[in-house]
A = this chain, B = another copy of it.
Amino acid sequence: MTRLTVPADSLFGLANLPYGVYRVPGGTSRIATRFGDDVVDLGLLLGTEGDDAVFAEPTLNAFMAQGYDRWVSVRERIAAGLAGDIPDDAVHATGDVEMLLPFEVADYVDFYASEHHASNLGRLFRPDNPEPLMPNWKHLPVGYHGRAASVVVSGTDVVRPNGQRKGPDDPAPVFGPSTRLDIEAELGFVVGTGSAMGTSVPAGAADRHIFGVVLFNDWSARDIQAWEYVPLGPNLGKSFASTISPWVVPLLALDAARVDTPPQDPKVLPYLAMDRTWGLDIDLEVVWNGQVVSRPPYAAMYWSPAQMLAHQTVNGAPSRTGDLFASGTISGPDKDQRGAFIELTWGGAEPVTVGDETRTFLQDGDEIVLRATAPGAGGSRIGFGEAAGRIVPGPAA
């Protein structure tokens, strides 16, 4: 047996207790929490009897499906367990294990919840329009479905996509590797408790359905996207890969991070109204080849995660355990708070300096890492780990 302690300033102290799935070399997929720099096996810490059989599963889905009361009680038991003697074989250094996709993704929806991002893109793509936001933007959280199969865990290489593109002066589209490969720094929200077809999740009840939060990089091929997206929205420009962080931070760990969203004007329709329209005070970093190039503030997001879930289901669409909905690019009001390179470089016109080079979009070999922290209980800070990916060349076009 062993005892674990972590420094008071650890981003993975008792205030965090995220959930993930790990594997030791040659081993099977197992569920764990992270405590300091250790990965602690939950099947071995808590047992696998009765309801705890979910900790013998290879993904978090079965546990998430048990619902809010279990999320609360298990979190308390993990904290109690970590304060006592822990079986030696339940503990691994983070460097000794491989982290896997923590849950099976059911449906994936991407939103567009940052007013700064949506306004910047409106100015870039529709420069002649005096109003950068579309008329619907402040009335509903605009979103679209993406490819669930393409969600990969941090550390997975991202293959540069081939596709069609057509510049404004090209007589016809050409095919080849994307030349405007970009990122979108986002958060992803993981649904634990779904809702049946024909019913909806009230915005005020969403925090009993949302299990947790991950970092989310919605890799985007801007040239492919620009040519394909009218009128049915993004498809191939996004569907090649989306990277999430391996640790799902419980929404229960983010009570201290709740903040009011920016004022919503005009007033939202009743199904989107909440007693408190909460956002989350989560500070992200975008790291390009080791250098921080942007610090997007999630607190600046216009639409609340709860409103996004309420909107997704208000038409009676079913939601399921493992549904993942992402926030859309997180951009703040300042230039160094923009969460996509198309904004950061203003459509490629204003390159950024990365190390001793300049960049507009991603080159093969470039690595992007998203990181984030948020206030935790008792004055602590909690971390989200990383969502990292390196660009590798695609197959010959």
Q: Are B198 and A317 in contact (CB under 8 A)?
A: no
The CB with the most chain B CB atoms within 10 A, among A134, A172, A236, A237, is that of A236
Chain A positions near chain B (C-beta within 8 angstroms): 106-107, 109, 112, 134-136, 139-140, 142-150, 152, 159, 161-164, 166, 172-173, 175, 197-200, 221, 224, 227-237, 239-241, 266, 269-271, 311-312, 314-320, 323, 394-395
Interface of A is mostly: loop
The CB with the most chain B CB atoms within 10 A, among A224, A239, A241, is that of A239
Residues in B with CB closer than 8 Å to A241 are: 197, 316
Q: Are A143 and B232 in contact (CB under 8 A)?
A: yes
Residues in B with CB closer than 8 Å to A143 are: 232, 235
Q: Are A175 and B266 in contact (CB under 8 A)?
A: no
Q: Are A164 and B149 in contact (CB under 8 A)?
A: no
Q: Are A317 and B145 in contact (CB under 8 A)?
A: no
- CB proximity of A136 to chain B, nearest CB, Å: 6
- CB proximity of A237 to chain B, nearest CB, Å: 8
Q: Are A315 and B175 in contact (CB under 8 A)?
A: no
- Contact status of A316 and B162, CB under 8 A, knowing A136-B230, A198-B394: yes
Q: Can you identify 28 A-B contacts, CB atoms within 8 angstroms?
A: A107-B147, A107-B148, A107-B149, A109-B235, A136-B230, A139-B173, A142-B228, A142-B231, A142-B232, A143-B232, A143-B235, A144-B233, A145-B146, A145-B235, A147-B317, A149-B323, A161-B315, A162-B200, A162-B316, A163-B314, A175-B269, A175-B271, A197-B241, A200-B395, A224-B315, A229-B232, A229-B233, A239-B312
Residues in B with CB closer than 8 Å to A314 are: 162-163, 236
